[in-house]
Every structure is written in structure tokens, then in C-alpha cells.
Structure 1
Amino acid sequence: MGMADSVAGLRLGPWGCIDPQLVGEIKPRHEPMQAMLAFPAILNRKVTLSENACHHRIHGHREKPDCKPELACDLCDLSGNQLLMGGPMTNRLWVVCFLLVSLGASVASQSPSATSVPPGYVDPQPVLAAARKAIGADNLKCVTIAGTGYAGIVGQQRLNDKNVDWPRGEPLANYVRTMNWEARTMKEEFDRKPGLNPASWKYGQGWIDGTPPQQNQHQVFMVNGTHGWHRDGSAASPVAASPEDAERWQLDLWLNPHGFLKAAMLPGANPKAMWRWELGEMGRDGPTTTPEKVVVVSITVLGKYRVDATINPRNMLQRIHTWVPDPVLGDMNYEHEFTDASYIDVGGGVRFPTDWHHHDGWDDNFQAQSINAGHNGFGGAFKDIKPNVCTDLVTVPDSVRQATFPVGVDTQKLAAGVYLLGGASHNSVAVEFKDFIAVIEAPLDERRNLAVIEEVVRLIPNKPIRFLVNTHQHHDHIGGLRTYMHIGATIITQAKNFDFYTRDVLNYSQRTLQPDSVSLWPPTELAEGYQYERVTENYVVSDGTRTMNMYYVQPLQHVDGMLMAYLPAEKMVIEADLLDTHVPLPATPSAANRSFFNQVRALKLDVQQIVPIHGKPVPWTDFMKVMSPKP
């Protein structure tokens, strides 16, 4: 009788000890053996496992120095008799200690009860094992890939319409990524044309206007555990990434075939699997009419993200999917896709994909599920692959480890009853009326806007915030719309933004990863009450004494659906992205500068002060120097 045959009927505890020399002496019985090898809390104590289970003793065993004494044990039959011929084990056995994960897996595979799963589900372990073998996941500790990538700018679309993807940033030339799953570190570096994007933005999510722009061509982004940072230039000082960005970068370490299979073996992964017949994905596989049966395995990553991988009949991972929190869209689709053909043999039994395709948002070009059709956030061809090159250490700088991200509001009184609420990359402006308050702009996220609202209530007590004026639909400018709707404000926005807001943003959908006030305490009305004012050309808010005008700014290359606000008594215009002052004023006017100037001139507005959402207020005369540069 072989060892596998001898132990096939045993149910093993976390640890077990058997004598391989005496396994053949186990007496066969007509009834199946159901003995349990257990780990009692008290040594040398006779333990009854159940009414029908065997008794066994734990003996101190000193013949095998690498076997813990408390792990030596007897095998018993259902009556409590020793199954080993020749007397007590303590005098005769050469004991082998083993972990459940090493032997229990083979035992469980032969036990019908161990593989029982609910209807519709399948046992994930054989599927994961086959995938690990197919791509050599156990042979890869780290990897470096290189090539050329692309970057989608999530949330910066000019408009929302069918087949309108996220705009593309500059190419990521000389892209190199090193992933070390044992150290839980990742380093990405590439060359990109400077001056066109925030330095803190890598690709996909995370674009925040009003922050320092990229100055140097070479860019470096790193993550180690919960800490992330970037360098604008190889020798530049490290700048800590926000906790949200750092966590998403750490998640990316596991959203690739080898990373997923390694994450599935970590404590708390809790793999589950289901099967389905699936047609190919148009962008990945082209048009297909014949489905194939796939298995979808889900695991938990970083203790909170439910990540699933689609594994095809060839044991290849073709899609890895999860959701990430987004202040605008809530639980946002986040996925990588790979084709079988892109996996190449890189040596040592390892196959690794060369073509990467990543989505931020649903691949929904025809707006079947959402108004926003943006989805392509990152990808490229990375054919230079070096397996197990782990020499590049990613050490967390002290400045990054000690970085904090407080939310503060700096208030500046611009005029009687008019306040600038700054202290971040984006400003808001509060305007007091006789019986109510209007606030212009709700940027970034709920945390920022709750702080602003508290300051507004302190400055102007006992009046409701009746209106929230939204300048445009870029995501870094609308992360607080839901917060203002929750406190009862009516959203004033340009009409072209209405469908996107009502379908995708200001809705009752649950937000499980980063709940906000609307999802936790939904108001009675989100659509049927006085929730919106749609502006086509202009709109006026007035109490008979103070007047504020909103105007549609067009034509504008930057974005469609832009509003600016004008206070005629104060001769003040409040605008976003038409003139930014967090950076030096340009030597020559941009397209947005020209559109702004032409709009003010066409409306014959008397402007003395410009209040930007990004930066400090400036006199109109400073802007005229930009528009009329000296020869």
C-alpha cells in the first residue's frame, strides 16, 4: 500500500506526523478510515475528537531533532485502537512533520467532501494550480518589462458622447517597470514631454490641475507597501503621493497574471470560482461568434478589493478585473486584458505577456450602461522582459514616510459677502445673498468640500447654501457635487453636462469602497425635486440687491459645457482653467486665454478682477498684458 493510498481517507489538521516506513503496516479495513490528526492545546493529554473519532496521544519525541516534539502522534481507527502494528509509536517511529498546505492539498483532491462547492461554483485550487504551471508563476519572484506605453487622461474629456474615450497624454517613451512581489514594491520610469501635465500624474486616474506641472523629461514613480512617491527628474527630490494614489499603485502590482496568482496564495485571499460561456472581447479578440467556457476566480487583495481573473481553457489569464474608488463615478471599473498570443517564453519555465491593455471605466463605447464612454487608461507593447532581476531596491524616503495630507481652508475676503476659499489645488468662492448663499465650484472630493462647507457656514451663519455653480465637467472640478446635493443645494451647470451628471454622477448607486454622504444617507429626491438648473447661454441669481450672472463660454477647445460667473457690482469674474495663476502667467496667450478674452469682450463685461479656481486673484490689467504682449 503506497503512502497516498494510506492517507487518502485521513482528514488532516494544521499539522500532522506520520512514519513513512510504517505507513504500509496500516491494517486495511472494510469501512473507510476517518481518523483525525490534530494538534491538542495540552501535551500528553488523551483527546476525544468526537463520539466516533479516534483517541490519540501526543508524545514527546526526541529521535528526530527537526520535528517538533508536540507534533509526534499516533494513528487510530474508529474504535480508538492503534492502526500501526508493532506497539507504541514513541519507541519505534521515524516521524516526518509536514504542513497541511503541502500534503493536505493532495489529500483533499482525493476526498469527495473536500471538493464540494455550491451549485454553479467550481473548486478554484485546481484552476489556479494549472494557471501557475502554464505561465510558471512559481518560478518568478520579480520581473522588469520595457517598451513604449500610452497614457489616457481619466476625467479630462472635452465632452461625454458615444465613442469619446479619455484623451491621450504624451507617449511614455523608454518605459520601464520593475515589479517585485516578494518585496511588494514597484518602480516605473519613462520619458515624457514636460509642461503638459501635472508632475504628480502618472497615467489613468490622478490628474489634478492646479498642482505643479511636470518640469523634466524623465519621470519616476515608485510604491513600497502603503507608501508611494514620484520624482520629476532622476535627481529630483521625492514627492509623496496621496494615500489614494499609493494604494492604487500597490493594487497594480497584483493586477497582472503572475501577481494575481501570487496574491491568490496570500492569507485572506479566500479564492472562489464560477464558470461561464463567454464570447471574445471585440477590442482584444476581434469579432467572435463561438463562445468558450472560462472560469472566473475571485480573490481579496489588500484586504478590501475584490479582484477576479478570467482563465480560459488554455489556463491563460486573459482578463483581471476589480473596482477602485473614484469621487465622481464611485466604484469604478478597473481592469487589465491580455491575449494568449502576447505571452512569450522568457526562460526558466516562465511565460509573460508583452501587450498590456488597461481600462479605467467600462468599455462602453455606445453608452449602453453610462453616458461617459472613457475607458482606455494605459497600455503598450513591452517586449523586453527580464525575469528575476531584483537588484533595484525601492526604499521609502523619510520625507515620504513622514508626509501628511491635511485638509485646510484658507479664507480671503474679496468683497463684502464674497469669500475665496483656498488652501488646496482648487479654490471655491462663496457669495452671500439676502436669504441664501451660492458657492462656485465643488472640486476634488467630499473630504475637501465638507471642510469648505464648514468654513462657509462659519463665515455666513444661519443661511442655507442654496446654489452650487459648477464651471465644467472635468472630474477634478466635480468631486464634491454629490456633497452639495446632499445638503440641499441646487446644481447650476451648463446643459451639455446634464445627462452625464444625472446618469453617472448624481445617482443612488451604492459606493462600497469609499462611501460618501449621498450613498450613506440618500436624500428623498435626487431627480424629481429642484435639483438642477440647466444653463444654455446665461443664467442669473439675484435677491433684488446682489446679482450674479453665469455665462456659457464658447467656443472652447479645452472642454465643452463651461460656465463662468460674473458679479457686476464688484466687477469680478470667477473662472476655471481659462486663466490659471498657480503658475507664472504665459508670455503668449493660450487658446483658452483667447476664448476667455473674446467672451468677456463679446458680452461687454466691465471686469477689474479675475478670480481663478487655480491660483490667486489678479487684476484684469495683468491679463491684458498677456493678451497684448509687447513686440
Structure 2
Amino acid sequence: MDHIGDYAANATNLCPPWGTFLLRIAAFLTALVFSAAPLHAVDLDDLIQAMGTDKVKTMSFSAGGAYFHPGGSALAGEDWPKFKIVNLTQRIDFEAKALAVEMPLEQVLDPPRGAGFQPIRGLLVRSWYLKGDTAWRKLRGQVRPARSPARSQHWLWTSPHGLLKAAKAAGSRPNLVTVGGKKWYTVAVEKSGLFRAIGWFDPEENLLRKVEAQIAHEVLNDMSVVTLYTGYKVFDGIKHPARIIFNFAGQTAYDLELNTVSPNLPVFLDVPAELKSNEVKTTTEKVADGIYYIGGGSHHSVVVELEKDVVVFEAPVSVARGNAVLKAVWARFPKKKIRFVINSHHHFDHSGGLRAFAYQEVPILTHESNRTFYAEAYSTARSISPDPLSNTAIKARFLTMGDEFKIIDAERIIELYTLKGSPLSESNIIAYLPKEKVLIVAGAYSSQKILGGPLAPEDVNPTQAHLWKFIEDRKLDIETVLPVRGQKVTVDQLKWAAGAGVKPFSDPENTPAPDTAAGDQTAKDVLNSPAKEEDSQKNF
């Protein structure tokens, strides 16, 4: 059994990669304040006329290239998984404040590694849309509210002509600045609570070359986004780049090579009638005595009662979702503290609600490979869309574990395992409750599709096959599976998803007894050991 490490995110001794953007903005603003008054060598209308923006009502293009799924690496710190963009289409109507991006993807990595619904067999189409202030997405035929409109608003209003239209509407004026001996015109735009950006125009041609922005993000907070525009061509008197690169938090997310550019084509986009409210709701389902499945959204959580406190598995999606889970836990167990919340893995949709728990001073248990990732993320400013944690001196406290860990309590035992070698995430933590024969799993399996029998070998997802082999190798006796995505199912559903037809071996008489001698190393003891906390923080 591995020792749990303990550390706190501390802004004083870290400079995260995306924090560099903040330093650049600070230096830029300082230069404006302490230098001579900015020279308004051009009016905004000069840039608009040079780009042809005054002629643009709508903008459509198609593109090929590469997509790198943000935050979806198999291990924190690795490159994001790459996919081939077959024929991305963008449609923008500036007057209607409407955006539609539809992006068909093909698998690139062999073997699959990381998130993004790998392996893609055929095409997977990711689409996102915006009409006014309403943002939604479509994936695998399902229409859902966007988790945040920030990405779509940023895409629309930092596009080459969108930025100038947004600046015109806001009354922004260009500034003439010098950086590294080169002169630039800069134009600032923002959408309150969502993003802020500075466009950099080459004064030789008055073309937008780069946009440096910050977007509100649930995990990376004020996430830096740098967009590069190159290879300008003229289309019906309108200038538009032939290549667009988006960098998120220091990594490439989109690398687009445009095939066609079509200004002023009609764009028809309506909010789908089936689009549901983005209101955060929870449902609570009793699984067994002291075990509750908290649903009501795209991602779920599980609360497990111990003798003196409770443990929560997963705080997904967003701070709002995290707060809703907390309320559900408190409603069910009003007199018990939360010992810690278990973070299954670092992917954004599974870690977006952790800040809500951190604000309540609930320790976060995650895999040791996530240590640097969370330390940097929780040291980054959250000024665009502040939450309660960003307005206090409270520091998020993280506990780390290795390949496995047992929580031994008078009430029950919780066994935690890391799915080392999993194609999705090598730091993926699952929970097994031997007395109740319950498996709690996130990422490695979802029950969104109910099966009637075993999948054919060619249809089996290697991540689910890896999970099933892990279960068989450890002879885990499972009857009920609680996936973070999907619904409560019997173990047969997981078995069939892995293409298996036989339940794993289970022999209670030969099952090893719990290692009660390891009780001194339970999570509770580590949490209550000041010396251990102090030492681990010092080493970190």
C-alpha cells in the first residue's frame, strides 16, 4: 500500500506555463502607463478598411488540419492527443452574433492514448454553436448546453473580422507600441465574465497577426489562449488568413489549413427546440446502506459513509456542479464531515468541480502524477470569472496516492486502485467496496449505452478491455457498477462492453483478509498528522 503525500497549492513558489501570459500583459500595461502617451497613428477605421471588415456581414470557411484534445493527455504534462480534422466548417453571422463550427475527426494515434472518445472508428463530429448569449454543443447526435459559452464567444469575437467589429462596438482605439524593437498596433476587446483579448496588427499592412487572450476556465482559471493568423489572401476584397493556430495554455489545440473562404454567404442558425436548460440539478439514489449515487447531470458523484465521516468520489464539470454535490452530501449527512474528495483523473470534465470542495477546506485525493498539474493550476489567477475560492486566502489541499490505497474503517473498507497502463488515463483511480461488491469508475467505463450482450472484438474499446483485465487480475468480486457517466448497472454491462462473457473468478474463502495492520497508514491518519503534512509540503 502506497503512502499518501500531502501538499498545498502555493502561488509564492510557482510560475506556471500559462502564468507567463499574465506577466506579459502586466509588462505591456506598465509600458503604456510609464511611457509617453500612446501614439494613435491609425484610427480603428483604418484597420477595418485595410482588412475589409466593413464589407463583411458573414464569414464561412472550411479547413483541414489537426486537433489536439485540450487537457486530454493520458498523464498530466504530456502532449494532448492528436486527431486529424477532415473538413472543419465555420459559419459566422456577425449581426446575429451567431457561430457554428462543425469538426469531423479521424483517429491518429495508434495505439490510442488519452481522451477524446478514442479510438474513433470512422468519423466523430464535434460541433459547437452560439446564438446571442446561448451556447450549445452537439456530439454523437446529442444536443446539450455548452458547459460555458466562453470558448464560442472567444472564437467569434477574436476572429480576424470579429475582433475589429467588437472593438468598433466598444469604442476601442488602437495603440502604437514597440516590443523587441518591432512596432505593433494593439486593439483590446473583452466579453465580461468570459474572456479578454488584445489583437496585434502589423503596421506595415494593418493585418491582424496574433491575438493574446485569457478565457475563463473551470480548471485552468484565466487560461491563456494565443491565436496566430498567417498567409493572408484576398476574397472579394476581404482579407482573411489561410492558416489559423490556436494555442491553449501553451499547447496547440487547433492547427487549421483553410481550404475555402466564403464571405457573406447566408448563415441560418436557430437555437434547437430540444436544447435543455443549463440549470444544475442533482438526484440522489441509494445504492446500499451508506452509499449514494448523486446524479442529475452529465457526470455523477458517489458518497460513501464511514463511521465518523464520509468520502466523496468525483467533483466533476464545474464549480456550480461541485457546489450542488456538496449540498446533496450535506443534506444526506448533515452531521458528518467530508474526509476527502477523490479525483479520479485530471481531465477537465472530471476535475472542474474540485474548487468548490477546496473552498470548503475538503482535502482532494488524486494520483501523485497530478501533483505539478494541480499546483500550477491552483496558483493561477481567476479574475475573469471569480469564485469564492479566488476571493479568500484558503489554499487547496491535495493528498496524493500511488498505485493503490486502502481506507480501513469500522464501517467498511474502500479500496482505491490506479489503472496503470490504461489507454485513457494512466492515473485513473477507481474505487472498490468489497463488502457491497460495488465498483465506482470514471473515464474508463461509461454506461451511456445499455448492451444486450457482449460486443464483438472489433467494437471493444481498449480502455474498457484494460479495465476488465485489471478486475480479473485482482479477482475483484463485483455485482454493481457506478459509472461517473451513465447510470447504475450490473457488472454484466461492463463485462459485455469489454467483450467478455464470463464473470471474474470469485472465491470468498480464498479472498485475502484486509491488511488491518496497515490501519496506521489510512487516509485519516495522514490527514491528522501535522508532522507528515509539514514534511511533504517542505519537500514539495
TM-score, normalization by structure 1: 0.66
Deviations 1:159-204 (A, max 9, x none): 123xx3322234242x33232323322333454469x9xxxxxxxx
Q: Is the 8 A contact 1:554 1:595 kept in 2?
A: no
* Structure-to-structure mapping, 1:346-361, within 5 angstroms: 346-348=235-237, 350-361=238-249
Check the 8 A contact 1:140/1:388 in 2, yes or no.
yes
Partners in 2 of 1:601 and 1:629 — Cα distance? 11
Distance 1:583 1:142, change over 3 A: same
Contact residue 229 and residue 245 of structure 2 kept, 8 A: yes
| Cα-to-partner distance string for 1:438-464 (whole Å, 9 max, x where unaligned) | 101111111111111111111112111
Q: What is the aligned partner in structure 2 of residue 319 from structure 1?
A: 210
Structure 1 counterpart of 2:491: 620
Q: Given the alignment of the two structures, is residue 454 of structure 1 paired with residue 330 of structure 2, yes or no?
A: no
Q: In the alignment, which residue of structure 1 is the partner of 2:343?
A: 470
How far residue 475 of structure 1 moved from its aligned partner, in angstroms, is: 0.9
Contact 1:120–1:274 (8 Å) recurs in 2: no
State the partner residue of 1:119.
35
The equivalent of 1:166 in structure 2 is: 80
Superposed displacement of residue 217, structure 1:
6.6
- Partner of 1:387 in structure 2? 263
Q: Rg larger in 1 or in 2?
A: 1
Q: In the TM superposition, what whole-angstrom CA distance separates every residue of 1:138-173 from its partner, at most 9, and x where no partner exists? A: 233333222324322112111123xx3322234242
Higher relative contact order (CA 8 A, sep 6+): 2
Q: 1:225 aligns with which of 117, 127, 132?
A: 132
Contact kept? 2:495, 2:501, Cα under 8 Å: no
Residue 538 of structure 1, CA deviation:
1.6
Letter in 2 for 1:260: L
1:75-123: per-residue Cα shift (whole Å, max 9, x none)? Answer: xxxxxxxxxxxxxxxxxxxxxxxxxxxxxxxxxxxxxxxxx99735524
**For the structure 1 residues 185 and 611, does the alpha-carbon distance in structure 2 shift closer, same or farther, using more than 3 Å as the test?**
closer
What pairs up with 1:155-304 in 2 under 5 angstroms?
Answer: 155-161=71-77, 164-173=78-87, 175-192=88-105, 221-229=128-136, 239=143, 241-242=145-146, 244-245=148-149, 247-266=150-169, 268-271=170-173, 273=175, 275-278=177-180, 291-301=181-191
2:225 counterpart of 1:334: yes
Instruction: Name the CA distance, whole Å, in 2 between partners of 1:269 and 1:214.
Output: 48
Residue of 427, 444, 458 corresponding to 1:578: 444
Q: Which stretches in structure 1 are left out of the alignment for 5+ residues?
A: 1-115, 197-206, 279-290, 364-374
Asked whether the equivalents of residues 194 and 216 of structure 2 are also in contact (C-alpha less than 8 Å), the reply is: no
Post-superposition Cα deviations, 1:346-368, rounded to whole Å, max 9, x if no partner, equal 233x221111111222x2xxxxx
How far is 1:590 from its partner?
A: 2.4
Provide closer, same or farther for how the CA distance between residues 500 and 575 of structure 1 changes in structure 2, counting only shifts above 3 A: same
Asked if the contact 1:224/1:250 (under 8 Å) is kept, the reply is: no
1:244–1:629: structure 2 CA closer, same or farther, 3 Å change rule?
Answer: closer
Tell me how far 1:625 sits from its aligned partner.
Answer: 4.2
Letter in 2 for 1:330: N
3-state SS of paired residue (1:338): strand
Is the CA contact 2:196–2:215 (under 8 Å) kept in the aligned structure 1? no
**Structure 1 residues 269 and 166, CA, compared in 2 at 3 Å: closer, same or farther?**
farther
Deviations 1:343-399 (A, max 9, x none): 112233x221111111222x2xxxxxxxxxxx222231114222333x233344555
The 3 A distance-change label for structure 1 pair 497 and 295 is same
The 1:570/1:172 distance shift into structure 2, 3 A limit, reads: same
Deviation at 1:541? 1.7
**Equivalent pairs, count:** 457
| CA shift digits 1:559-618 (9 cap, x unpaired) | 121111111221222111222111234614422222212222332322222221112222
- Residue 406 of structure 2 is matched in structure 1 by 540
CA distance in 2, matches of 1:117, 1:470: 44
Partner in structure 2 of residue 48 of structure 1: none
Change (3 A) 1:382 1:621: closer
* Aligned equivalent of 1:499: 372
- Asked if the contact 1:486–1:522 (Cα under 8 Å) also holds between the matched residues in 2, the reply is no
Counterpart of 1:100? Answer: none
The aligned residue for residue 197 of structure 2 is 307
Moved more, 406-415 or 611-620: 611-620
Cα 1:121–1:329 change in 2 (3 A) is: farther
Give the AA of the match of 1:487: Q
Retained in 1: the 8 A contact 2:227–2:247? yes
Q: Find the residue that maps to 1:412 and give its secondary structure.
A: strand
In the alignment, structure 1 residue 345 sits paired with structure 2 residue 252:
no
SS at 2:358 equivalent: helix
2:322 partner SS? helix
Note the C-alpha offset of 1:305: 3.6
State the 1:417 CA deviation: 0.8
CA distance in 2 between counterparts of 1:240 and 1:126 reads: 43
Q: For residue 411 of structure 1, report the CA deviation from its aligned partner.
A: 0.9
Q: 1:231 Cα shift?
A: 5.8
CA distance in 2, matches of 1:405, 1:487: 24
Structure 2 match to 1:609: 480
Provide the aligned C-alpha RMSD in A. 3.1
1:124 Cα offset (Å): 4.4
Q: How far 1:554 moved relative to its partner?
A: 1.7
Out of 278, 286, 293, the position equivalent to 1:405 is 278
Q: 1:270 to 1:304 in 2, by over 3 A?
A: farther
Q: Per-residue deviation at 1:302? A: 6.1
**CA separation in 2, counterparts of 1:549 and 1:332?**
35
Partner of 2:12: none
- One-letter amino acid of the counterpart of residue 82, structure 2: R
2:253 to 358, 362, 377: 377
Contact 1:554 1:599 in 2 (8 A): no
**CA distance in 2 between partners of 1:406 and 1:568 (Å):** 36
Provide Cα deviations, 1:511-554, integer angstroms capped at 9, x if missing partner: 1222122102331x44xxxx333211221223334221211212
Identity of aligned residues (%): 25
> Aligned residue for 1:595?
466
Query: What amino acid is aligned across from residue 352 of structure 1 in structure 2?
Result: H
Deviation at 1:308, TM superposition (A): 0.6
Deviation at 1:304, TM superposition (A): 6.2
